[in-house]
Chain A
Amino acid sequence: MAEIQSNEGGGKKKKGGSKQKKISVHVDFTPMVDMNMLLITFFMLCTSLSKPQTMEISMPTNDNKITEKDKDAVKASEAVTLLLTGGDSVFYYTGQANVKDYSSLKLSSYKADGLRAFLLKRNTEAVNKINDLKEQKVQLKISQEQFKKQVSEIKGGKGTPTVIIKASDRATYKNLIDALDEMQICNIGKYVIDKITPGDNFLIKNFRNKGALTQGTSK
């Protein structure tokens, strides 16, 4: 008797040594674990963890009210036109296309040394400024809001290129997204998706034929 009392410690003593049955409080948790595991499996299989990313774009209206004058507002020196074609290749030219010289059109790719290198070079000033800002943000010198405001100022500033993206029917959706992605990577604020014109198709054809189509006219 004494042994039991000493085993059970102080709790018993308070009750003046009255004999109380000790009920085991052990609950078997195995079924509970089973059920939880089942539920976890269900959630893992039927749900997706990551929410999809999205790009926000705004297209120009195809309102006929816009006059020709507004359309030509982009300076030729700042304009870069990308022509997306099939086979994951992309052509670009700066300013206005020179129909007579097929080599004014350049063939490039979506890889880092292709289009991105070119665009970064065109946009060096803005890219450097933005990188500076990013550094400042990391060092907590400027707030997130300031950062955003200044970035959008730089992106829309003078001298930054305006990119016109024209995709042909043979280009894929991935090509379009890749091109839009490059705009983001290269910090280009002004870009637009436009319809490809027969003139652009001619340029590509001419390039593929190494200028054979315009040889007669240039001489």
Chain B
Amino acid sequence: MSKVKVARKSTRIDMTAMSDVTVLLLTFFMLTSTFVKKEPVQVTTPGSVSEIKIPETNILSILIDPKGKVFMSMDKQADMVNTLDSVGSHYGVTFTEQEKKKFKIAQTFGIPIKSMKAYLALKGEEQDKVLGNYGIPTDSLDNQFKVWIQKAKAVNPAFRIAIKADQKTPYKVIKNVMNSLLDLRENRYNLITSLKNETANKK
């Protein structure tokens, strides 16, 4: 009876190749992707066949949720602070350095100027929770939205306005926003859509 000799194999696997692949993937993701902005409301943009990409800098985006709440965001923090300052002085509200700092961190804002101070006093997580309930007032009696746009444009004239609205938003709200923009002679702007494949749409 002879013993069956089992060859001892090393269980070591060379991870170099794997490491190469992961580094490649990582580089790809880092270079091609952009960070998702934190948005207070979920917005599904309608599809279109348009293939123009949105420019990367100097974007003043207006977010409109299905219920008609309006939020805004800018891509530069310095612009945000300056805009807050000038809007504040327009309504007779002054902000402390600390409040400005907090405002700067928030990526999207949409708070009536009267509640802004109370809102900025909240902690980060609480801010996220309540922000969805607010929205910049756009009605004709108290059109703070118009003031925001006007001041933002004064701070940075290079801003391109982009409207991002949910596909179920009633036209009434959009019309309101567009009219406010028209009143400010902002008649060139972008509408953000998601890519729709034309062949799928032909069915």
Give Cα distance in the complex from A44 to B173, angstroms: 34
By the criterion CB–CB under 8 Å, are A29 and B19 in contact?
A: yes
By the criterion CB–CB under 8 Å, are A29 and B16 in contact?
A: yes
- Judge whether A124 is part of the interface by a CB distance below 8 angstroms: no
By the criterion CB–CB under 8 Å, are A174 and B50 in contact?
A: no
Give Cα distance in the complex from A56 to B202, angstroms: 23
Q: Which of B22, B36, B178 has the most CB of A within 10 A?
A: B22
Give Cα distance in the complex from A55 to B49, angstroms: 9
Give Cα distance in the complex from A29 to B32, angstroms: 26
By the criterion CB–CB under 8 Å, are A52 and B19 in contact?
A: no
- Judge whether A143 is part of the interface by a CB distance below 8 angstroms: no
Which candidate, B1-9, B137-145, B187-195, is the interface stretch facing chain A?
B187-195
Nearest Cβ distance between residue A111 and chain B, in whole angstroms?
A: 9
Known A-B contacts A53-B54, A54-B192, A180-B48; A62 and B36 likewise in contact (beta carbons under 8 Å): no
- Judge whether A49 is part of the interface by a CB distance below 8 angstroms: yes
B193: which of A28, A48, A53 is its contact (CB, 8 Å)? A53
Q: Which residues of A contact B22 (CB under 8 A)?
A: 33, 36-37, 40
B15: which of A33, A48, A52, A177 is its contact (CB, 8 Å)? A33
Q: Which residues of A contact B34 (CB under 8 A)?
A: 47-48, 51
Chain A: CB-nearest residue to B167: A174
- Judge whether B169 is part of the interface by a CB distance below 8 angstroms: yes
Chain A interfacial residues counted at CB < 8 A: 48
By the criterion CB–CB under 8 Å, are A171 and B46 in contact?
A: no
Q: Which residues of B contact A47 (CB under 8 A)?
A: 29, 33-36
- Judge whether A99 is part of the interface by a CB distance below 8 angstroms: no
By the criterion CB–CB under 8 Å, are B19 and A33 in contact?
A: yes
The A161-175 residues at the B interface (CB cut-off 8 A) are: 167-175
Nearest Cβ distance between residue A34 and chain B, in whole angstroms?
A: 9
By the criterion CB–CB under 8 Å, are B15 and A43 in contact?
A: no
Q: Which residues of B contact A28 (CB under 8 A)?
A: 15
- Judge whether B126 is part of the interface by a CB distance below 8 angstroms: no
- Judge whether A198 is part of the interface by a CB distance below 8 angstroms: no
The interface bits of chain B over 178-190 (1 if a CB of A lies within 8 angstroms of the residue's CB, else 0) are: 1101110101111
Chain A: CB-nearest residue to B59: A54
Known A-B contacts A53-B194, A59-B187; A29 and B30 likewise in contact (beta carbons under 8 Å): no
Q: Which residues of A contact B188 (CB under 8 A)?
A: 56-59
Q: Which residues of B contact A174 (CB under 8 A)?
A: 46, 167-168
Give Cα distance in the complex from A112 to B196, angstroms: 14
The 7 closest A-B pairs by CB, nearest first: A29-B15, A47-B33, A36-B22, A174-B167, A43-B29, A169-B172, A174-B46
Q: Can you list 27 A-B pairs, Cβ within 8 angstroms, ordered by A?
A: A29-B15, A29-B19, A36-B26, A37-B22, A40-B22, A46-B35, A47-B33, A52-B54, A52-B192, A53-B48, A53-B52, A53-B54, A53-B193, A54-B191, A55-B52, A55-B190, A56-B188, A57-B188, A57-B190, A59-B182, A59-B188, A61-B187, A173-B166, A173-B169, A173-B170, A177-B46, A185-B198
Binding site for B on A (CB under 8 A): 28-30, 32-33, 36-37, 39-40, 43-44, 46-62, 84, 112, 167-178, 180-181, 184-185, 193, 195
